[in-house]
Amino acid sequence: MGFIVLFIASIGPGLLWLWFFYRQDRYEPEPVRKILKVFLVGLVLVIPAGLLEQVWREPIMNSIQNGNWVSFLKLSFIVIALIEEGLKSIVLFWMIGNSRELNEPVDGPIYGITLGLGFASLENLLWASVYGLGVAILRAVVTTLAHASFTGWMGYYLSQFKLATNREWRVLGKGFILALVTHGVYDFLLFLRNPISSLLAILLIAGLLVRLYQVMQFQVRKSSYRG
């Protein structure tokens, strides 16, 4: 019974946010089967990410336990953010980059958000199984949307790349750098564990999401499928 509650508290919010963002694509929504496939792949992606991060488990744990912010600052970018955003970006491009379903600008953010929500959902469940329901609820509100925003912006740049007449790889590079930097900054701010840094982390995610939502609304209004 306890696991069922943790499962719902961890996976449920990801599915609810998925439903919310999926509904934004009003004129030519993506196939539900494709969306669910991307979400499930996001879930599975936590496993290789976790295995890779295990290589640096000792220095990560030492920096956290000793409050070594210089060490964690480096690790948050060159290990945690690089591994997680690197894997998510590669898989997103592999699944969507050449897909005929990505045929209008808003599709990229939709798929990016979906992959990020899947990743965050299983990550939340793993954390909640160790630290309890309170952690699941907190991560459902903040961390779930953090991953959605990181990969959502990568999806935005993927759309810009695929739908451009002259494709420039640096466009994808911009998306990856944005995801990497914001993820690294977010993790570091949480590591500091004080009210101001935590508030800044929340404001960072709120800013990324609000701006991404505005961009998506603009893209939907300009959709060639409208009407």
Quote the pLDDT of residue 98.
87
CA distance from start to end of the chain: 48
Question: Distance between CA 38 and CA 20 in Å, rounded?
Answer: 16
Q: CA separation (Å) from 95 to 55, 60, 115, 205?
A: 27, 31, 10, 25
Extents of the domains making up the chain:
2-221
**Tens digit of each residue's pLDDT (9 = 90 or more) over 136-155:** 777 778 889 999 999 999 99
Q: Please state the pTM of the whole predicted model.
A: 0.94
**Tens digit of each residue's pLDDT (9 = 90 or more) over 6-62:** 888 888 889 999 999 999 988 888 999 999 999 999 999 999 999 999 999 999 889
**Tens digit of each residue's pLDDT (9 = 90 or more) over 83-135:** 999 999 999 999 998 888 888 999 999 999 999 999 999 998 888 887 777 77
Question: 34, 13, 23, 38: which is closest to 146 by C-alpha?
Answer: 13
Q: Let me know if 20 is exposed, middle or buried by CB neighbors in 10 A (0-12, 13-18, 19+).
A: exposed
- The residue that leads in pLDDT, 1 or 50, is 50
Quote the pLDDT of residue 152.
97
